[in-house]
Amino acid sequence: MPHLRRLLVVPLSLLLLGLGSIAAPAWSEDITVFAAASLTNAIETAAQQYEDKTGIHVRLSLASSSTLARQIAAGAPADIYISANEKWMDWLNDQGVIQTNSRQDILANSLVLIAPANSTTPPTDITKNTKITDLIDHEDRIAVGDPDHVPAGIYAKQALTTLGLWDAVAPRLARTDNVRSALALVERGEAPLGIVYRTDAMISDGVKMIGTFPADSHPPITYPIALIDPQDGDAALKFLVWLLGDDAATIFADYGFDAIATTVTITPDTAVQ
Same domain as 193, residue 247: no
Rounded to whole angstroms, the Cα distance separating 237 from 234 reads 5
Residue 146 contacts residue 181 (beta carbons within 8 Å): no
Confidence at 7, pLDDT banded by 50, 70, 90? very low
90 assigned to some structural domain: yes
269 assigned to some structural domain: no
For 131-144, how does the pLDDT look when each residue is reduced to its tens digit (9 = 90+)? Answer: 999 999 999 999 99
Rounded to whole angstroms, the Cα distance separating 19 from 31 reads 16
pLDDT for 9 equals: 40
Domain containing residue 245: 12-108+222-259
229 assigned to some structural domain: yes
Residues 6 or more apart from 90 whose CB is under 8 A from it? none
Domain boundary among 156, 185, 212: 212
Mean per-residue pLDDT, 34-45: 95
59 assigned to some structural domain: yes
Mean per-residue pLDDT, 44-52: 97
Same domain as 208, residue 115: yes
267 assigned to some structural domain: no
Same domain as 205, residue 169: yes
Same domain as 126, residue 87: no
pLDDT at 270 over 80: no
Kind plus residue range of the DSSP H or E element containing 80: strand 80-82
Same domain as 84, residue 131: no
Mean per-residue pLDDT, 153-162: 97
The CATH number assigned to the domain holding 99 equals 3.40.190.10
Same domain as 192, residue 57: no
Query: Looking at the 3D structure of the chain, how many domains does it have?
Result: 2
Rounded to whole angstroms, the Cα distance separating 193 from 179 reads 13
Q: Which residues sit opposite 14 in a β-bridge?
A: none
Domain boundary among 176, 191, 212: 212
Same domain as 38, residue 87: yes
pLDDT at 230 over 90: no
For 52-97, how does the pLDDT look when each residue is reduced to its tens digit (9 = 90+)? Answer: 999 999 999 999 999 999 999 999 999 999 999 899 999 999 999 9
Question: Quick one: what percent of the chain has pLDDT higher than 90?
Answer: 79
Residue predicted with more confidence, 231 or 117: 117
Question: Quick one: what percent of the chain has pLDDT higher than 70?
Answer: 84
Tell me which amino acid residue 109 is: N
For 252-263, how does the pLDDT look when each residue is reduced to its tens digit (9 = 90+)? Answer: 999 999 988 665
Global pTM reads 0.77
Rounded to whole angstroms, the Cα distance separating 60 from 43 reads 8
Same domain as 166, residue 79: no
Same domain as 234, residue 206: no
179 assigned to some structural domain: yes
Confidence at 229, pLDDT banded by 50, 70, 90? confident
Over the range 177-193, which residues count as b (16 or more CB within 10 Å of their CB) and which as e?
A: bbbbbbbbbbbeeebbb
Whether the upstream peptide bond of residue 192 has omega within 30° of 0, thus cis, is no
